[in-house]
Amino acid sequence: MARLQGRTAVITGAASGIGRAAANLFAAEGASLVIADRAEALADTADEVAKAGGKVVALSGDAGDEAFVQSLVARAQSEFGGLDVFWANAGISGGFTPLHEATPDYWAEILRVNLIGAFLGVKHASAAMIPNGKGSIICTASVAGIRSGAGGAAYSASKAGVISLVQTACNELYGTGVRVNAIAPGLIETGMTKPIFDGARARGNEDKIGQLNPLTRYGVPIEIANAALFLASDESSYVNGQTIAVDGGLSTSHPVVRKKR
């Protein structure tokens, strides 16, 4: 239980779900944390970490805003002496607005948070890590970014962009020792997917949630956090530019029931 001992990690989107699970896990593994979100529940995550004996600083703000991302990196350096791990986890789904009803502003906001936010994390975290010759940057993608059938058009495009980002970024960081990888979650019960779960439970179909993947079940946040711990630790020291799908096998086929227009 010390795979991140002596290291500092930034986690965005840490108010709930995957981010909160990761904050608790990383702290239990020895990391000092700077956590961020724009939701008030971020304070609850910080309290959980602190009560368990972890070191944590919570900053409220927008992960798609460059000045805020810079402040996260700067706080990690000033508070804990450096930066070893940055997880650009914050994201929004935008729902399932049909393609012909979506507006440019709708698309722009999803891309700003999901893709530009990840870019900003890579940009500023890597600048802090390069002088040390090492570091791990993790971005949250999605199986929706791999192929159709797991999300709306704008969300899927933003996550496909994240997958491309980690590939191009790791090559731009050639020779620096800084690694960039992504995790592509499948159907996980979080605040973002709450409408899906609430609807299924209201219909009495809870047992069918996740039935389309080979494990025939949905996932929980700690299963994504465990994958991120691997990427944050030295156990993944030769993993770079990759997107790891944690989805019960869903992305092997993305089966989906289609509706005619």
What residues are paired with 199 via a beta bridge? none
238 tagged catalytic: no
The radius of gyration of the chain's CA atoms, rounded to the nearest angstrom, is 18
Distance CA 66, CA 81 (A): 21
Q: 3-class DSSP state for residue 122? A: helix
Q: 106, 155, 174, 238: which is the annotated catalytic residue?
A: 155
∠ Cα 162 179 252 (to 5°): 50
Q: The dihedral of CA 151, 154, 197, 220: what is its sign?
A: positive
∠ Cα 229 235 238 (to 5°): 115
Tokens of 38: 């724009």
Number of helices and strands in the chain (H, E): 8, 7
Determine contact, residues 178/157, Cβ cutoff 8 Å. Answer: no
Number of residues in the chain: 261
Active site residues: 155
